[in-house]
Amino acid sequence: LGDVLLMTAGEVSLGALAAFLAGHVFYILAFTAQRQNVPAVIAAGLACVAAIAVFQRRLVAGLRESDREHLVRPVITYMIVIGAMTATACGTLNPLAGAGAILFFTSDALFGWYHFVGPLRWGRPVNIVLYQVGQGLIAVSLTLTST
């Protein structure tokens, strides 16, 4: 749903953010239904917090400069939730889940930079590849653990 909303709106909307956020909440529920390695969750969570701390200032500034102040809180909330999704995926110690979540997190960082800070010549194709591979790895990891 988030992808459809992004394609039809042509820009980031609250609806698209909400749809992706809901998807990440469901991923978190799926990952936490599995056994979690607490040190791995903490380590991955700290890495995500560090990445968010580095990027959030520029993303927020870009949103404000482009008169999209209304997206600041939703984008920060989304960043926290995707960080939690990444941490819980890594906490499963399933290499497919962890790699998929890290690729998805990286993809969304590129997406945010491209849309809120400024375009990167190579940003869109790399974003799409990371997103597709990340989603695929997460899906495969969940399929394999549910059997």
Quote the CA–CA distance of 132 and 47 in Å, as a whole number: 22
pLDDT digits (tens, 9 = 90+) for 38-54: 999 999 999 999 999 99
- pLDDT bin (cut points 50, 70, 90) of residue 16 is confident
Backbone angles phi, psi at 20, to 5 degrees: -65, -40
Transcribe 16-33 into DSSP letters.
Answer: HHHHHHHHHHHHHHHHHT
Nearest to 99 by CA among 50, 54, 49, 135: 135
CB of 62 closer than 8 Å to CB of 117? yes
pLDDT digits (tens, 9 = 90+) for 51-108: 999 999 999 999 999 999 999 999 999 999 999 999 999 999 999 999 999 999 999 9
Tokens of 98: 């962890």
Distance from first CA to last CA of the chain, Å, rounded?
27
Quote the CA–CA distance of 109 and 67 in Å, as a whole number: 20
- Kindly report the length of the chain: 147
Whole-model pTM: value is: 0.91
CB of 45 closer than 8 Å to CB of 87? yes
